[in-house]
Amino acid sequence: MPRLSNAVLLRAYGISPLLPLVLRGCRELPSAINELRWLREHVRSENKSRDTRLLSRKLLELCRRRAKGEPLQYLLGTQPFGELEIKCRPGVLIPRPETEAYTTHVAEILLSQHGKGPLEPKTNQNSLESLNVVDFCTGTGCIALLTNSLLSKRFPRVNVIGVDISSHALALANENLAHNLKDLNADKASSRISFEAGNLFSDLKHPSFHSFSPDVVISNPPYISEKGFNTETTRSVRTWEPKLALVPAITLERPDCAPEDIFYQELLETYSTQKSRMMLLEIGDSDQAMRVAKLAVRIGGDCKVQIWRDWPDQEAPPEAPSMVRIEVQDGSKGSLIHRDILVKGLGKARSVLVLWGSYIDLLHPPSADGTDPPESLDWETTWEKD
């Protein structure tokens, strides 16, 4: 990690003596200015006392902790997620803005199709337009809660289940359910949400999961490799967030699958045999996106695959590829087949969407021209604040 230059630290000090501390934790001056403001507001709203010396001491204490890299979200105890406020604490992964972006986008897509018929699931013939959603590896419960909150605005029946292996995570998810009750249309008997303990690698075969046949599966599972954990995560993530949430802990021998991809394989194998319609999987980078897309094509059966970037609702510049070509072994014959996959959104590759059945016609545009798309995703945009 590059050292902060003295000039920057001095400039920060000139603005506020507390700022260099915050800057050590968050590394960027504009962010540090905002963070210091939020810390100050937090101290003021948490303490009834008007004793300014006490308040300054508390603020100083928080800034010192921030300097050691402790995430702001753990210091403040919350992170906004869409219209919700999600409680955060050590032991459970902090919700990320990219996760918020695709969760919102999935909900918007489903809402835009509401009332057009085919979204009525087969699983529940007599309850029109009900929707079953499962959020595997739910952590704070953020994805499950936001999905429920957005969908229950229009769908008369939404059932969401969040599953996690960690008891810390489940306890926090339930607290978050209580914390956001007013946004969840909880008064609607038809909108249900619950959190359950489960290990993806053993409990998926459990009858209680079998009886809940999801239309939509969303998952942000651990996806970082051991090596990536040591070299690509920031110090704050490494030291403060749970490794269980970041690096797949089970190293089953899977010859055809990288260790950091095993959650995807398991989810795809399980849900492509059930009657799911849509699966959204968060991934770490474009290489992983390509690997997961191939997995989906190979084991997902009759499906269509898309790759979404960080901000899937934003239009990418024309120079960004809107299609990518992948090649996979055709299982039965062993010959190579290729598939062209739609890529959309602005930023870096962030998630893989898999569609089955009627959702394909609804949500997947027919492929356009005949030109061959590129075979890599190497294209990215950044916008730096000026």
Ligand X SMILES: C[S@@+](CC[C@H](N)C(=O)[O-])C[C@H]1O[C@@H](n2cnc3c(N)ncnc32)[C@H](O)[C@@H]1O
Q: Which residues would be at the binding site for ligand X (CB under 6 A)?
A: 93, 95, 99, 137-140, 142-143, 164-166, 169, 198-201, 220-222, 244-245, 249
CB of 244 to ligand X, least distance (A): 5
d(CA 80, CA 84): 6
Q: How far is the CB of 386 from ligand X (least distance, A)?
A: 30
227 binds another protein, rule: CB under 8 A: no
Residues 139-198 that bind another protein (CB under 8 A): none
CB of 160 to ligand X, least distance (A): 12
d(CA 290, CA 307): 8
Can you tell me which of 20, 23, 92, 98 binds another protein, judged by CB under 8 A? Answer: 98
Out of 156, 228, 357, 373, the residue judged to bind another protein by CB under 8 A: 228
Stretch that binds another protein, among 23-31, 179-187, 271-279, 352-360 (CB under 8 A): 23-31
In terms of CB distance, is 208 or 322 closer to ligand X?
208
Question: Which of 180, 251, 248 has its CA nearest to residue 219?
Answer: 248
190 makes contact, choosing from another protein, ligand X, none, with CB < 5 to 8 Å by partner type, with: none
Among 17, 77, 97, 374, binds another protein (CB under 8 A): 97
Contact positions vs another protein (CB under 8 A): 15-16, 19, 26, 30-31, 33-38, 40-41, 71-73, 76, 79-80, 82-83, 93-94, 96-98, 100, 220, 222-224, 228, 232-234, 236-237, 241, 245-246, 282-285, 310-311, 314, 347-348, 350, 381-385
